[in-house]
Amino acid sequence: MGSWRFQDATWFHLAITSHPLQCGDEMVDDTLYELNKAISAKMILPPGDVVISKSIAQVLEGPSETKGGAVDSFQNHLQKAGYSGTLIKVASDINASRVDSFIRNALSHQGIFFYLAYRTIVGNEITDTSGIATNMMESIGLVQSYVNTVLVDKVIASENLNATTGQIEKIKRYFENREIDYSPGKPSFIIEEFFVSLVEGGSLIGLVRSFVNSDRVKLPRDVNKDDLIQRMVDYLIGIGYVHQVEGTNDSPSEKSGPPMDTGDTGTTQTDNLEAIEGIGPATQKRMVTAGIRRYAHLAELSNEELKQKLGDKGIKSYSEIIEQAQLIASGKFEQLVALQKKLNKK
């Protein structure tokens, strides 16, 4: 630890980059600027167990002041704790590594940098330089999730999209844990395209048809698309996937069938998790008891997080199970079939 003081951003910009940074898309850059400003403000800092269990948005929604209560910033707290020199070395190490423009842009903002450092040092109790840098890089997804959900609001407002509250929440859940191309104009195009598919997609077969006809799928010329679409729909229904059409009144259409995954852990609906190789009746029961009912819930967990939820202290790895859930949740069904065939050969 050192005795450096964080007087201004100069030290950090020298450590992390030699020139001003931007992701490319103005909306993304503005969102990071706004996030940095919000997260740099003084507040009642969350204790370690809270900061690692909450999203950035939840932390920012916490109390900023109280009668007689102490307020501080993540930066000041770490400075007073003596981590100045350590974090300058961390910034230098990150700068020397290969990271994309979004990460460099995000970490060039002091507030965001110190929030991730606080989460690592106070929340995860990691204090060595190498460990701090590694954990901060692994946690950058929290910033991406925040940015993506804010981008949804910005795109809907800027493009004057007539989206219902239910549609907005659904779009946010879809993009929250997905990577978005942050090059100029791309986020707006991608989010608006998804909104259009959500509104016009209608039934499950309409959603699949839109996917098959998109430029994301390269099919041989002699493939019967209608037959392929029907087989994909049959497969989705077979594994328990259901699709809900959002109505203009925020309620499901009577013709839409059972509700699609909402991402809400309070839902009583349960996906057929046994469709995933490696999950049998007993394992599904354990998962449901642990609150893991949907493919989307399972897809968001790491191997260690899932083991913790299931109370599994053994050496068994759930990585292949999680990978299958991620493929289902992201609609990558061809890759899912290929992976399951591979697993069946083991």
Strands annotated E in the chain: none
- For the chain, which domains are there? 10-144 (no CATH), 145-238 (no CATH), 273-344 (1.10.150)
In this structure, are residues 288 and 272 in contact, taking their beta carbons and an 8 Å threshold? Answer: no
Give me the pLDDT at residue 108, please. 87
Which pLDDT score, from 0 to 100, does residue 235 have?
Answer: 73
What's the half-sphere exposure (Cβ side, CA atoms, 13 Å) at 139?
Answer: 25
Helix or strand run (H / E) with residue 311: none
- Give residue 21's pLDDT: 52
Closest CA relative to residue 94, chosen from 135, 65, 151: 135
Pick from 194, 336, 199: nearest CA to 278: 336
Q: Does residue 142 contact residue 106 with C-beta atoms inside 8 Å?
A: no
Cα(162)–Cα(230) distance, integer angstroms: 31
Distance of CA 231 to the CA centre of its chain: 30
Say what the pLDDT of residue 223 is.
77
**Residue 305 carries which side chain, given as an amino acid letter?**
E
Residue 249's pLDDT is 35
Residue tagged 């890759």 (tokens): 335
**Angle 282-288-294 (CA atoms, 0-180°, nearest 5)?**
115
Indicate the Cα dihedral angle 265, 250, 233, 340, nearest 10°: -20
How much is the pLDDT for 35?
A: 95
CA pair distance 226, 229, nearest whole angstrom: 5
pLDDT in tens, the chain (346 residues): 333 344 444 445 444 544 445 557 899 999 999 999 999 988 889 999 999 999 999 999 877 655 556 789 999 999 999 998 899 899 888 888 887 888 888 888 989 999 999 999 999 999 999 999 999 998 999 999 999 999 999 999 988 888 888 889 888 988 888 888 888 888 888 888 778 766 654 456 666 776 777 766 677 777 777 677 767 766 776 665 555 444 333 333 333 333 333 334 334 567 778 888 888 888 888 898 888 988 888 988 988 889 888 888 766 789 899 998 888 877 777 788 788 878 876 6
